[in-house]
Amino acid sequence: MRLASYTANGKARFGVVTDHGVIDMNERLNGRYDSLKAVIAGGALDEVRRAAQGVRPDHDLKSIDFLPVIPNPGKILCVGINYKAHAAESGHAVAAKPNIFTKFTDTMIGHDGNMLRPKISEEFDFEGELALVIGKPGRYIKAENALSHVAGYTCFCETSVRDFIKASLVTGKNFPACSPLGPWMVTTDEIPDPSKLTLVTRLNGVEMQRSGTDMLIHSVPELIAYMSNFTPLAAGDIISTGTPEGIGAKRTPPVWMKNGDVLEVEISHIGTVRGHVVDEK
């Protein structure tokens, strides 16, 4: 099942995405949930699935504006240098423990939205990543049980402003409206093993990154277990799992995103999230 957050007729909605459009779920669940995050927290994904069976879509995909899959996560937790080849191109040793940092919620945009290139930097870089949405809260989760805490998977472009990262990872990762998340979340019944996916990042149609998710240094279950040791994980939290090799900063010459560029992150069995780079005014 594919689930999206979006706006239609000026109102924030959530629904089930089909090949023919979106089935609006706000009213079909009698208004008991005001967001996809609330549905997940309420353990209502099976209810959504039943309510969508045999129903015609309410909206054409072209008539809606996508929001980030979870517009209001409590946490966005990310991992640095978590692909073997990316560690090699960056000159880093394989880390024994994940390198965790956070992103603010206002960094996220929806599919096909505008990615703001900061006016104070030319070094706006792309990082295609697999992200997951926590479904069941937990603390001190064991790796062998970790996937049971996942509601679904989505695509993320975890951008970096490289010259600011030289001073501080937090500043270089948290410029507003720069990171598309979506276009939708695919539930775990359709992706039982997140290590068997292929991630591709394209800039203006040119392939820049490609990797299987089996090349993660720290796997999805390991990341969930490790993160839950230092912070409680809640329904709707986002965990982004790291980017493979091929980032703009490590190319010769470097490739920085600029006004008018189109960035896409495609992950097999999920879909493609797209962002349009525009200069900050």
Q: Are strands 113-117 and 198-203 parallel, antiparallel or unpaired?
A: unpaired
According to the model, what pLDDT value does residue 30 have?
86
> Domain segments of the chain: what residues?
2-66, 76-279
According to the model, what pLDDT value does residue 89 have?
65
According to the model, what pLDDT value does residue 136 have?
98
> Structure tokens of 136?
């069941």
Please list the residues that pair with 7 across neighbouring strands: 12, 65
Burial zone of 93 (CB within 10 Å; 0-12 exposed, 13-18 middle, 19+ buried)? exposed
pLDDT tens for the 281 residues of the chain, in order? 999 999 998 999 999 999 999 999 998 998 899 999 999 999 999 999 999 999 999 999 999 999 999 999 999 999 988 887 666 666 666 677 999 999 999 999 999 999 999 999 999 999 999 999 999 999 999 999 999 999 999 999 999 999 999 888 899 999 999 999 999 999 999 999 999 999 999 999 999 999 999 999 999 999 999 999 999 999 999 999 999 999 999 999 999 999 999 999 999 999 999 999 999 99
According to the model, what pLDDT value does residue 92 have?
65
Task: Return d(Cα 190, Cα 170) in angstroms, integer.
Answer: 34
Give CATH superfamily name and number for 76-279: Fumarylacetoacetase-like, C-terminal domain (3.90.850.10)
* CA dihedral of residues 239, 114, 45, 104 (deg, nearest 10): 40
- Of 210, 195, 205, 198, which is closest to residue 246 (Cα–Cα)? 210
- Of 200, 198, 241, 242, which is closest to residue 221 (Cα–Cα)? 241
Task: Return d(Cα 45, Cα 23) in angstroms, integer.
Answer: 14
Task: Return d(Cα 49, Cα 43) in angstroms, integer.
Answer: 12
According to the model, what pLDDT value does residue 93 have?
64
| b/e per residue 233-246 (b: at least 16 CB within 10 A) | bbbbbbbbbbbbbb
- Of 10, 15, 8, which is closest to residue 29 (Cα–Cα)? 15
According to the model, what pLDDT value does residue 35 have?
96
> Structure tokens of 101?
């940092």
According to the model, what pLDDT value does residue 87 have?
61
Task: Return d(Cα 153, Cα 236) in angstroms, integer.
Answer: 11
Cβ–Cβ under 8 Å, residues 170 and 269: no
